[in-house]
């Protein structure tokens, strides 16, 4: 099964080796036909602390690393 890859912006880097990434998706409302933006935060594992808030990163699914981390930074 292929692993999902998402693109988002880094929101927080307060924890060591952990990034909080906000991923935004856009879709059209079924009745109103209006484009809606929804965002969701993911906790991702980044080996070195080279990322800052506002950076655009790609994350991919992985085996559970901790209680909340199920993603890793690939770019």
Which tens digits make up the pLDDT trace of 26-38?
999 999 999 999 9
Our count of domains for the chain comes to 1
Q: Which of 61, 16, 22 is nearest to 71 (CA)?
A: 61
Pairing of strands 35-45, 71-73: parallel
Parallel, antiparallel or unpaired: strands 35-45 and 18-28: antiparallel
- Specify the CATH number for the domain of residue 58: 2.40.50.140
| Reported pTM | 0.86
Domain span including residue 43: 5-73
pLDDT band at 3, cuts 50/70/90?
A: confident
Check pLDDT > 80 for residue 48. no
């Amino acid at each position: 099964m292929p692993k999902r890859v998402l693109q988002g912006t880094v929101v927080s880097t307060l924890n060591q080796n952990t990034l909080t990434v906000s991923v935004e998706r856009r879709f059209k409302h079924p009745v109103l036909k209006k484009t809606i933006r929804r965002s969701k935060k993911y906790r991702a594992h980044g080996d070195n602390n080279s990322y800052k808030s506002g950076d655009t990163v790609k994350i991919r699914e992985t085996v559970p690393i901790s209680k909340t981390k199920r993603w890793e930074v690939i770019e």
